[in-house]
Every structure is written in C-alpha cells, then in structure tokens.
A and B are shown apart, each in its own frame.
Chain A
Amino acid sequence: GENVEQHPSTLSVQEGDSAVIKCTYSDSASNYFPWYKQELGKRPQLIIDIRSNVGEKKDQRIAVTLNKTAKHFSLHITETQPEDSAVYFCAARAGSYQLTFGKGTKLSVIP
C-alpha cells in the first residue's frame, strides 16, 4: 500500500518568514495530494490540493509543488502569521478512494 513520509515533525518560524513542509510517497499511481490544517482540538480542514497533471498550485500565501519523478510534494507558506500555527498533514491518494496521511508537522509561528 501507499506510504507517506512527512518532514519535519516540528517547525518553528518567525512571523513573516516562510515555512516549507515536505512529503514523499511510495505509490507511483498516486495522483491526488491534499494538504490539511488541524488546529488544536479541531477537525482537519483542506487548505490546498494538487493533482498529478499539475506541477505547482498557489492560493494567496500558500503554494504546493509536486515532483512526480521524485515522488515528493511540498507545502510552502509565505509571510507566516501567528494564525498559521497548527498541525499540517499531507496525504496521497492512489486509485479510487483511500487517503494515506503523513504523520503531521506542528508549525509554530513566533510573533
């Protein structure tokens, strides 16, 4: 089955700096890669996703890049703000339905 590795497990940045979280996946058939943000005690919420026919996608301060050859994808957050502090999960989906998640990255933005 699919295996998703996520790094780093924790990340601290100064407010205004950029944050980058990286994930690798094992199943070359995976073709959908969402990122979820989970605030403490809250549900995971989709913040951005990318499909395998696209190399990069941006939404305001958030961008995701995908390298299918190397089987890795990354989340980039620019101009970080304290409200970006949360746990971020990457995921990969091969075939019809099952999302396999990484173990999460706890991002702390220091004011």
Chain B
Amino acid sequence: GAGVSQSPSNKVTEKGKDVELRCDPISGHTALYWYRQRLGQGLEFLIYFQGNSAPDKSGLPSDRFSAERTGESVSTLTIQRTQQEDSAVYLCASSLQGFTGNTIYFGEGSWLTVV
C-alpha cells in the first residue's frame, strides 16, 4: 500500500485478555518501529525491527508485551493479560532503512481501550 497500515483501528478489550495489533509497513521499508502514545502524551518507543530482527527491545514496558516481524514485512505487537494502564494508541512506523536521516512514516495507530 501507499502508507503504513495498522489494524484494528480501534479495539476495546476486557482486562486480562490478550490482544494482537498488526502493522503493514510501506513496501520496501526494512526498518519498523512501534511506539505507544497515551492520551495527551508524547510518543514512547517500544521496539525496533531491522528486517525480521529486533536489535532493540528496550522500550517494551513488561514481559506481557512482545512483538514479531515476518517476511521483512508485517509485524504483530501482542499484549498479554491486558491491564487498564495499557490503554493507549499504539503507533507503528517504518523507514527505508534504520539509518539516521531516513524519514520515519507513521500509521494511523491502533486505539486500545482496556475496560
């Protein structure tokens, strides 16, 4: 597609359930990023993929969070046993390569509400 696509766009889940968020990066982009944005807050880095490898998982807030990427394309962010504090917009982004100066393009985000 022309841009970064994310699904679902909105997700309401019960506390304790698992959720999966999907990201389709721009075709040909080898670098993929996940950020979290709480309501009215800035962008919090979660994880970065170069190809299918994740050299930096330092931003994942707890072991309930995991992510994978396959085929140097689609990525899935999984949150297990969701908590109310997980409610946020989860933004995926991609860039041509993970190098300084390459523009990072964001998707529209997946709005997660844990009730």
Interface of A toward B, CB cutoff 8 Å: 31-32, 34, 36, 42-46, 49, 51, 89, 93-104
Bound CA span A36–B104, Å? 10
Instruction: Determine which of B42, B99, B105, B108 lies in contact with A97 in the assembled complex, contact meaning CB atoms within 8 Å.
Output: B99
**Residues in B neighbouring A101, C-beta threshold 8 A:** 35, 42-43, 45
Instruction: Provide the residues of chain B in CB contact with A34, threshold 8 Å.
Output: 103-104
| Binary per-residue interface labels of chain B (67-92) against chain A in the complex, 1 for a CB within 8 Å, 0 otherwise | 00000000000000000000000010
Residues of B within 8 A of A98 (CB): 45, 48, 56
| A78–chain B nearest beta-carbon distance, Å | 24
Which B residues fall within an 8 A CB radius of A? 4, 31, 33, 35, 41-43, 45, 48, 50, 56, 91, 98-101, 103-109
B38 vs chain A, min Cβ distance (A): 11
Contact between B45 and A99, CB atoms less than 8 A apart: yes
